[in-house]
Structure 1
């Protein structure tokens, strides 16, 4: 629009979440203010995906200095003083289309909720607007009502066996015994009041005050392992990101406890070693599939087991490791196999009950924030009305078995909130939900941006693939049979998903171009909404 100046942009998983971010930018806030306003609103309008009962990870860029930091506010093992035990630990089946996955829920599945502490630390370090201002839209949505989207309905349907575990949870998310439907209006005075408490007092009510006591009464012994000591002594961590040079750009990724960051870095370094074959129209897709197989292999050759051991990331990303795998991939690709035989049993596909927020502003500040409640434990936080995580009940983040601890140690996650900084100074914030599809979705979008010279929208809309064991899962849009044959190679089965599917994540992205233009794209797979704020 003539005379209008861009202020920034945001892409999220719900219209109200994006609205909150844009409102903060128009109020004079920066990308960090926008991200926190959006996150507070997502806790209301995307309650099955994130909230005060869960955990998350921020990757943040300061536009003035160019410095990138990671704020780890993901959950840790509870059990200080009374032990970590499998109390009230209920196995339930979740139907995910062609796949049924088993999860554990109940009070015994709850890890230490860490979002309140993370939000307070984030606000203190980076935000310019007061918490009261940033929480306004979230409080309004909770009190006056928010509208369930198609994504809300899909997740409510998928998680119905868990959501019906507790009567309070069932009343909100399975009214009259049916999953929450698209178009339904949801209100909660408890949620509104809890957000007002955070706006006034910060994290204290949730870590050592009345909300903390309410949480422990429900999820502490004899019901679960959570105690006041766990909440009071939880500490967020400011971490240095992993940094990967790729095609002239720099990608900043979260380090452990985020396993996804190192795996995306590994995949990109492998892609960088594979020479373009101009006579093969499907070379790039075949390379992506081969790299995904190699990444599965490296996970089961010790990466998953040794994630927190000193030197694991350095060994994974060392030139000798990358060169060895690249040589094997070149041979496999030349033989039309496009795959390394995986060793061990890869994890099965799991629902990705995670959401992502991306924000940028005109000054080059950028935030990528990914957060989750797991599948929820099926019970609500009594004094707040927020769903609570079941991180102790997700087998994909417990390769050594459930309730192994040690108490207070970080849980692993595949979350990969990332920032891509171009050679001209432009920056893109991006990330996705999707569990073990997070790393493959991110790998593809970055590759399409840098290798295919696509626009942000084109890169996000491209059909995605994901390799799982000997099966390649493919979004089928308008690709021909020659494409499907090329990426399957000799050893893979094909699993078709007709059209874009939420299974493959939702890469919500916001960008500031080197020339000052601003953009945002919400991934339609997860009903994403991207908008730009102008003055």
Structure 2
């Protein structure tokens, strides 16, 4: 086996091709994953920003070490929650005021420097080509921009890119981003002109973004337009290497990210399902007991709201959410016959986090959480890479001359003084993206992730159950119809909760729908195979090293395998 053997699944064909190009040029899974991640920021500009977030979890094939990088920026030093609350109420407003330090470039370069083999110029080449030459507009890009036409037309610099001639891009047209290509080229040129080895060149590329011309343009625009980001915020940013949480799930060990994202909630979900056992999660006829699953998920999200934030600000140890007695307590509150409209958090000291009811805004389940994409790569040397880059362009302003929609992830913070997830200088918003890795008997098995905001945990859990408890193959498990709860305060502003609300893909069997309704769930149909139910990307390796990959057809993803 070697890096010439690989499995790749990403959110767009150009990103998949970028990853494959690196592997065929003798790069490894980390080189490939970074190339795909950068490409996703170009070809999915409605969902992913080159200057957005990029949480990463990876495995080094040489040592077996698994680690993660948070890939999320912090609030600027000038951020003041009392000022936000006085001027905007409970939620962080759209526009540049929700900008946090862009983290993705630092995350990609950190992973490349420590575990990759290639230079930034190598891995950025496909992204630069796609930005400079353009790529064909695809359905999801066109649909997303069209559905958010009002948001895109607010800012001239954003409209110039996403509403050419005042209209959303049409499927098949060529979408060009010259300024974005130039921004990436500035980083490549800095690397090329640097003296020293590969790592010195990568450091120079990073400095070009965080200390040079790009940072100067971003911060000058903020200074001129009432933003908060400064050169000091940019230059002082460091991506953090974070501890992962390995949890047993059936015959595998799933590695989840930490409490700086909802990775700890993914770990809590799997821990509850493992404790309950296969016999509890399946019905007598072998289908998923979706009532039980939904009740587990609602409790996980109640605990997320009460306990989970940037770990530097948490009131409890994140690992306490995985404690056996705590998990047993949570399972004991689930009724087999009735839905709990919106469960209380588990019994440990916590802040009672307020939430908003529907105040007339378009429901989150109606709009769908489209932002985010994913890349999963496994190579034949046992390197594994899973990353979920994100940040949309519709809720913020493109920095003129750069093509960059700088991270608007501040939308996941609260403008409520004293709230667990209140914004604060240097504090990280709690991310929704949470890529995972899985091992079996200590060997590579699975790299997985999905877009979808609060749907991510729910979609991944269902795919894992279909595979591990129902014996479904990878493709079949991903194609199964999904259900999703909205009975919790949403992660994104305005953080609305919908007690008892369940969305389901309309190919869910009638009997399953009727059973959930009988137990009190407020059921509402999505279209069959909708993008709103996620876009799972999986790369896999079995016990014999045979590779497989599949990308969810609900979105624009593709997969490829070279065995």
24, 27, 51: which one aligns with 1:29: 27
**The 10-residue stretch of structure 1 (213-222 or 269-278) with the greater mean CA deviation from structure 2:** 269-278
Is residue 296 of structure 1 aligned with residue 305 of structure 2? no
Instruction: Determine if contact 2:386/2:436 at 8 Å carries over to the other structure.
Output: yes
187, 209, 231: which one aligns with 2:176: 187
Deviation track 1:357-395 (CA, whole Å, cap 9, x = no partner) reads 111111111111111114544421223212223222446
150, 153, 178: which one aligns with 1:164: 153
Which position in structure 2 is the counterpart of 1:379?
Answer: 397
CA RMSD in angstroms, aligned pairs only: 2.9
38, 46, 49: which one aligns with 2:44: 46
Mapped to 1, the partners of 2:407 and 2:11 lie a distance apart of: 19
Mapped to 2, the partners of 1:209 and 1:490 lie a distance apart of: 59
Mapped to 1, the partners of 2:480 and 2:312 lie a distance apart of: 31
272, 291, 302: which one aligns with 1:270: 272
Shift of 1:345: 4.6
Instruction: Determine if contact 1:47/1:386 at 8 Å carries over to the other structure.
Output: no
Instruction: Determine if contact 2:3/2:27 at 8 Å carries over to the other structure.
Output: no
User: 5 Å matches for 1:5-16?
Assistant: 7-16=5-14
User: 5 Å matches for 1:221-232?
Assistant: 223-232=226-235
Shift of 1:103: 7.7
Shift of 1:48: 2.1
TM-score by length of 2: 0.84
Shift of 1:488: 3.5
User: 5 Å matches for 1:5-404?
Assistant: 7-80=5-78, 86=84, 104-201=93-190, 202-220=205-223, 223-258=226-261, 260-275=262-277, 276=279, 279-282=284-287, 284-303=289-308, 308-309=313-314, 311-329=316-334, 332-333=335-336, 336-337=337-338, 339=340, 341-343=342-344, 345=355, 349=364, 351-394=369-412, 404=422
Mapped to 1, the partners of 2:549 and 2:536 lie a distance apart of: 11
Shift of 1:512: 1.9
Unaligned runs of 5+ in 1: 92-101
| Structure with more strand by fraction | 1
**The 10-residue stretch of structure 1 (235-244 or 348-357) with the greater mean CA deviation from structure 2:** 348-357
Shift of 1:189: 2.6
Which position in structure 2 is the counterpart of 1:476?
Answer: 506
Which position in structure 1 is the counterpart of 2:479?
Answer: 461
Instruction: Determine if contact 2:265/2:301 at 8 Å carries over to the other structure.
Output: no
Mapped to 1, the partners of 2:40 and 2:96 lie a distance apart of: 23
Change beyond 3 A, Cα 1:395–1:182: farther
Mapped to 2, the partners of 1:399 and 1:292 lie a distance apart of: 28
528, 536, 555: which one aligns with 1:499: 528
Shift of 1:434: 0.8
TM-score by length of 1: 0.89
Change beyond 3 A, Cα 1:81–1:151: closer
Instruction: Determine if contact 2:7/2:561 at 8 Å carries over to the other structure.
Output: yes
Deviation track 1:292-331 (CA, whole Å, cap 9, x = no partner) reads 22223333444469884153422211111111122222xx
Is residue 529 of structure 1 aligned with residue 549 of structure 2? no
Change beyond 3 A, Cα 1:104–1:113: same
Instruction: Determine if contact 1:9/1:519 at 8 Å carries over to the other structure.
Output: yes
Unaligned runs of 5+ in 2: 191-204, 345-353, 358-362, 487-498
Mapped to 2, the partners of 1:253 and 1:415 lie a distance apart of: 11
Shift of 1:10: 1.4
Change beyond 3 A, Cα 1:530–1:436: same
Is residue 440 of structure 1 aligned with residue 458 of structure 2? yes
